[in-house]
Chains A and B, each alone.
Chain A
Amino acid sequence: MAHTKNQQPASPFMPMFEAFRTELDEHHDRRERIVKASRDITAASKKMVRTLGTALPHFVEKSNAQYWKTIETQFQSISSDVQGLNAYRYPQLTWGNQEFMEALSFQHYLETQTLISYDDSKARVAALCGDQPTVPLTPEDYVLGIYDMIGELMRFSITAMATTGKLPAASPKRSQADEASTDKMDVDEQSTGPPRNVLDDLRDIRLRLEMFEPSQGSKFAHDAEKKGEVMRECVNKVENALYSLTVRGKERPKGWSPDVREDRRTEVQSY
């Protein structure tokens, strides 16, 4: 159309763009590796959580070993991609980290009836990375993972109430045991001392999370608010279930389960 008498010589900017292409390709390759690892960590963590929910200690340990292995492999595979300048470059890393935090904190709770600390969580990731430099686990990853873990605690509580007719509770002695790893919470156990049950714990952690204040206007604040809603619903469900249990507990027919709507479940999981 336009008259082009001088037939186009190659663009003088080509060398520059070729250099950019190399750089961008490196960046995209790195990102793809991280996305893949993040997805694999997510999948393995979800499976871990599902097995943990069955509350069959031996089965749990055996079948979760493979998922730990997967997570270990994936963390190590991307370790060098998320160091130095690139530590915060790939937000996709947070998917896997959050999901891992959910599984880790859920398992930790079932074993010790306490919330795993941020520092301990970082140490666990560092241990999984072996002799590689550790994959960064941010406070955001940690907190958002804890929000998700509450959904699991909710399901755990409801299941326990449905099958045993009471809330799982731990005696204080047990919760302080150092050999906690073999000390799985037993839903059938009679609580002895002052009763600290799952609902007490849920309320405790809900309070901490509600008091927690992320940077205003940050993505973290946005995510935390969304997850906060789901978290409150989860705690409410357990409270409501306990109410039903208390009111109608005595006349509970065989096979009865607490009256909770599970329609929100997909939403909880999708976070």
Chain B
Amino acid sequence: MAAQSGMVDPAIFQDLQARTDEDTAVRDELKEFVQTLEKQTRNILFVLSRAHSTPAAKLHEVLKAAESPIDDAVATVSKLSDAASKVPYYKFNQMWSRQMQDLVFTILFWGWLGGKNEGGEIKNGRLLTIEELGQLLKIPVNLKDRDAFHLTIEEYLHALISLVEELARLARNSVTLGDYARPLLINQFVKDLLAGFQILNLKNDALRRRSDGLKYKVKDVEDVVYDLSLRNLVPKKEETMQE
């Protein structure tokens, strides 16, 4: 303190500046990965959006085409995960949380369309769990015992809401394609998800606001089913043979 002429010991702010500069460097490094991820997610969605105009018989082509952009994104997630695991997770997580939600949504959509069915016939309606997503993305999920990069429950739930929104759109477009069975499948699926969301005690945050909108999306799908049943277009149940 003897070297100090005024009130402030200059070392205090030198030290703080050094710490802050370190954070800035970390931020810059992570930002690059996050931006790449954003671009790659858009590529996946670009491919998958063809599902809205592709009949079920040709869906496998779309799903196949999505695999390579998904692989790209998974590679970036690995890089991001390596870099981000060196720093406290929640200190920087707002930098990528949105992008991870978007990516997870595209993979959920891909999985719902039947992307994860190895071989065999394409089957719609599968929900990838958070654990399955962790395996696909090669990252841990819902970590509690250590501080490293992972997929959080909140991010997964955000992605589920996006999935419902996308499926509501797909329900209408299926009808346009002449597929009258898929809206029924979607109807049941989104209702099941809504029921799940309704047992969560969400606080007043972004997740709460978005999940409040779920019921309108579910209603959109119900309206499609209603339109179909009104015109007797609803296919008979699978158990009974189709006439």
Q: Could you tell me which A residues sit within 8 Å of B by CB distance?
A: 1-3, 5-6, 8, 10-14, 16-18, 20-21, 23-25, 28, 31, 84-89, 109, 113-115, 117-119, 139, 142-143, 176, 196, 200-201, 204-205, 208, 211-216, 218, 220
Contact = CB atoms under 8 A, between A and B. Distances in A.
B68 to A, nearest CB: 30
Nearest to B18: A139
B195 A113 contact: no
B13 A211 contact: yes
Contacts of B7: 109, 113-115, 196, 200-201, 204-205
B176 interface: no
Given A3-B229, A114-B7, A115-B8, A16 B196 contact: yes
Contacts of B191: 8, 11
A15 B13 CA distance: 52
Given A24-B200, A114-B1, A205-B8, A215 B27 contact: yes
Given A16-B196, A87-B147, 9 more contacts: A2-B226, A20-B157, A24-B200, A28-B203, A85-B90, A86-B90, A114-B9, A196-B7, A216-B24
24 contacts: A2-B222, A2-B226, A10-B195, A11-B196, A16-B129, A17-B195, A17-B200, A23-B142, A23-B153, A24-B154, A25-B201, A85-B146, A87-B91, A114-B9, A115-B8, A118-B15, A142-B16, A143-B16, A201-B6, A205-B7, A208-B8, A208-B13, A213-B17, A214-B20
B174 interface: no
A119 to B, nearest CB: 8
A12 B129 CA distance: 12
Nearest to B24: A215
Interface string B69-112: 00000000000000000001111000000000000000000000
A6 B237 contact: yes
Nearest to B207: A24
B90 A88 contact: yes
A25 B203 CA distance: 9
Nearest to B184: A2
A212 B24 CA distance: 13
A114 B10 CA distance: 11
A172 to B, nearest CB: 9
A204 B6 CA distance: 7
Given A13-B196, A25-B201, A212-B13, A20 B153 contact: yes
Closest 4 CB pairs of A and B: A17-B196, A201-B7, A11-B192, A204-B6
A17 B20 contact: no
Contacts, number: 133
Contact of B201 (A1, A28, A31, A212): A28
A220 B23 CA distance: 11
User: Which has the most chain A C-beta neighbours within 10 Å: B8, B90, B192?
Assistant: B8
A212 B15 CA distance: 11
Interface of B: 1-2, 4, 6-13, 15-17, 19-20, 23-24, 27, 88-91, 127, 129-130, 142-147, 153-154, 157, 187, 191-193, 195-197, 199-203, 222, 225-226, 229, 234, 237
Nearest to B196: A17
Contacts of A2: 187, 222, 225-226, 229
A74 B205 CA distance: 25
Given A13-B195, A20-B157, A85-B144, A215 B201 contact: no
Nearest to B129: A16
A12 B17 contact: no
**Most B C-beta atoms less than 10 A away, residue of A5, A20, A87:** A20
Most chain B beta carbons < 10 A, residue from A143, A196, A215: A215
Nearest to A87: B88
A87 B90 contact: yes
A139 B20 contact: yes
Given A20-B200, A28-B203, A118 B16 contact: yes
Contact of A84 (B6, B9, B147): B147
A11 B193 contact: yes
Contacts of A114: 1, 4, 7-9
A85 B153 contact: no
Nearest to A115: B8
B200 A5 contact: no
B142 to A, nearest CB: 7
A3 B234 contact: yes
Contacts of A31: 203
